[in-house]
Structure 1
Amino acid sequence: MSAAPREHTRTYYLGKLATELEQRGLTAVLRPDPPALRVSHPDAALMAETVDCAALPDGWFFRWSWGELVGLADDPALAAERIAHVLAARR
């Protein structure tokens, strides 16, 4: 069985998160393989984070590059708020 449906789901959720991040003034670039977002603030591009999306027993979740959960993929607005808060603290 191909992993394609799982990758499509991951990309779908990451796209929704990218939209929410961009509405908050952040830059979100989709890295295709494996799918993940490179998120940065336009005024501090060197301060960037990578966020991916993973299927876990309780559903799909966004995760930081170090594996800690950001939030449910079904709530990209809340995840975007958390990411924006972390990036703002680093500026």
Structure 2
Amino acid sequence: MPAQPREHTRTYFLGKLAEELEQRGLTVSLRSHPPALRITDPDTMLLAETVDCVPLADGWFYRWSWGELVGLTDDPALAAERVVHVLAARQ
């Protein structure tokens, strides 16, 4: 079964976030179904988080695995900074 347009949108936005996270030194892998990013800090390898992407009334948003929003997909750099901040706080 071919991927639905919504899945392509998720993958696109997650790819943008992955680029930003990799520039900040994190390791990122894209899970294909449902689309989500598995993010790890290569310095600790114990710290990992999953972020997906969801459409809401105000646009598309990145979302933590526990359901809280990370930020708008319009600003993947800001979302990446938030992910880095959360992972750093766990060290």
Q: TM-score, normalised by structure 2?
A: 0.95
Give 5+ residue unaligned stretches, structure 2.
Answer: none
CA distance in 2, matches of 1:42, 1:7: 28
SS at match of 2:31: strand
**Does 2:51 align with 1:32?**
no
Match of 1:53 in 2: 53
CA distance in 2, matches of 1:15, 1:57: 22
Task: Give the residue type in structure 2 aligned to 1:88.
Answer: A
Cα displacement string for residues 45-73 of structure 1 (whole angstroms, at most 9, x for unaligned residues): 12100000000111000000010000001
More strand by share: 1
Give 5+ residue unaligned stretches, structure 1.
Answer: none
Number of matched pairs? 90
SS at match of 1:63: strand
